A = this chain, B = another copy of it.
Amino acid sequence: MTERLVVIGGDAAGLSAASQARARRGPRDLRIVAFEKGRHASYSACGIPYLVGGEVSGPQDLIARRPEVFRDDLAIDLRLRSEVTEIDLDRRAVAVHDHQAGRRYWEPFDQLVIATGGLPHRPDLPGARAGGVYGVQTLDDGIALLRALETPEPGRPRSAVVVGAGYIGLEMAEALVRRGLEVSLIDAGEQPMGTLDPDMGALVADALRGLGVKVFLGERVEGFSESGGRVVAVHTGSRRVRADLVALGLGTHPDTALAEAAGVPIGGTRGIRTDRRMRTATEGVWAAGDCVETFHLVSRRPVAIALGTHANKQGRAAGINIGGGYASFPGVVGTAVSKICEYEVARTGLTTAEAAEAGFETVEEVVESTTRAGYYPGAREMRTKLIADRRTGRLLGAQIVGREGAAKRIDVLAVAVWHAMTVEEMTGLDLSYAPPFAPVWDPVLIAARKTAERVERLGGRD
């Protein structure tokens, strides 16, 4: 008998799962229906700031695979504008609201993948629903923002406020700077990029100011003024900032409403709990992507991290397992990268505060270096911070702030964190060297050396 797989969510995690399951089981063996509540599926949400900024020529460029490809080539019945409103685990069926046709129905399943993604934090504040206030999560959000920016004069927005100075906030700030708007960035934290150490975050703040962005830190947004239904200003406890347009980049949290209502166990991070194979605690129910919690390999604690790359890997693992194979998602070390104009920012592992929280005593070292040999054209400055266990010298985390060519070096550090290398061991690593690519001591090696020296001075002292 044909088994029935239902997938809730038509993005990275859901459609990776569907595709991988299909790759291992033909349509007679496995029927696959995927429900996407939005009008678009299989797109790069991470590309939205670049759509808004104009680096990407149009929304279609962000779509990895068109719906027809799923239907025609992969025999995956992808249904757009189809919102799953309930999971009934006893009946083994989901309730679907087809917004296109305006009808509701039940779709039965044997296997279920929950890939409901993340819900943007949207402040419940006066004026938050005014015209001109945009989320930046879905492709439709991006398209709406793009339209606003392309409004014919004299209605075109001149000033913008980005609320939230995390990755998405920074990327939106870049996009709006590129569009020629006067951009302000507001964050309740004392630094942009709250996922960096304060000293590294301060570098990012300096860089933002250097780009002409007004940065208001430690200020919480309290509301929005509107005029004629459109936003005109953002209010914090300390000021009123003019805004023809507001982008909300406050991050997301796992969207687990459906799972929770159905009784699928949720973890302490509010993400759906799964095992390494992406099985939930409920038989035949899998979950993947921004809606799940995963395991941090350094802190050894569950974390919920919304990132397309994890979603893809988790979806793939779920799909291979559903397809009868065996694959697992091993967890994360907290790697992330972003850029704003010519500045690049990256991190991996734990920050100093996260390490302390996880019970480590640390030593830290910050080194300045260049991305290439100092004498080679295009050598750019970069700052690398390493965080190591004080006693053993084990690398716990790393952060980079620099210019072109700086940030992708975080990957070497991510693999070093992955293997729990000590900074002393790292000094021996055989990293590539030629003047156009690195100084003779690669920045990663300089940082490892300096940190190892600090561990030698401070480490192991009781």
Q: How far is the CA of A330 from the CA of B429 in the complex (A)?
A: 8
CB <8 Å contact, A335 and B434: no
Which chain A residues (397-452) contact chain B, with CB distance < 8 Å?
405, 407-412, 414-416, 418-419, 425, 427-438, 440-442, 444
B-binding segment of A229-237, A246-254, A373-381: A373-381
Nearest CB on B from A289, distance (A): 12
CB <8 Å contact, A432 and B336: yes
CB <8 Å contact, A440 and B373: no
Nearest CB on B from A392, distance (A): 17
Nearest CB on B from A438, distance (A): 7
CB <8 Å contact, B312 and A434: no
CB <8 Å contact, A429 and B418: yes
Neighbouring B residues of A410 by C-beta, 8 Å: 432
Nearest CB on B from A39, distance (A): 19
Other than A46-B434, A407-B432, A418-B430, give 11 A-B pairs with Cβ distance below 8 A.
A46-B373, A47-B376, A55-B376, A308-B440, A312-B441, A336-B434, A337-B432, A338-B434, A407-B437, A411-B444, A415-B431
CB <8 Å contact, A50 and B375: yes
Neighbouring B residues of A435 by C-beta, 8 Å: 44, 46-47, 50
Which chain A residues (328-381) contact chain B, with CB distance < 8 Å?
328-339, 344, 346, 348, 373, 375-377
Q: How far is the CA of A2 from the CA of B60 in the complex (A)?
A: 74
Q: Among A313, A346, A405, A435, find the residue whose CB has the most chain B CB atoms closer than 10 A.
A: A435
Neighbouring B residues of A281 by C-beta, 8 Å: none
CB <8 Å contact, A408 and B437: yes
Neighbouring B residues of A143 by C-beta, 8 Å: none
Interface membership of A216, Cβ < 8 A: no
Interface membership of A62, Cβ < 8 A: yes
Nearest CB on B from A406, distance (A): 11
Interface membership of A167, Cβ < 8 A: yes
CB <8 Å contact, B441 and A429: no
Q: How far is the CA of A418 from the CA of B411 in the complex (A)?
A: 15
Nearest CB on B from A354, distance (A): 15
CB <8 Å contact, A434 and B44: no
Interface membership of A130, Cβ < 8 A: no
Neighbouring B residues of A328 by C-beta, 8 Å: 428
Interface membership of A56, Cβ < 8 A: yes
Q: How far is the CA of A442 from the CA of B432 in the complex (A)?
A: 19
Interface membership of A238, Cβ < 8 A: no
Chain B: which residue is nearest A444 at the CB level? Answer: B411
Residue of B171, B440, B441 touching A46 (CB-CB under 8 A): B440
Also in contact, A330 and B428, with CB within 8 A (given A312-B440, A375-B47, A440-B312): yes
Interface membership of A309, Cβ < 8 A: yes
Nearest CB on B from A118, distance (A): 16
Interface membership of A382, Cβ < 8 A: no
Nearest CB on B from A349, distance (A): 9
26 pairs from A and B in contact (CB 8 Å cutoff): A12-B440, A44-B435, A46-B434, A46-B435, A50-B375, A50-B435, A62-B375, A171-B434, A309-B431, A309-B442, A312-B441, A330-B428, A335-B431, A337-B434, A339-B436, A339-B437, A346-B432, A405-B408, A408-B408, A408-B438, A409-B411, A410-B432, A411-B432, A411-B444, A414-B430, A415-B415
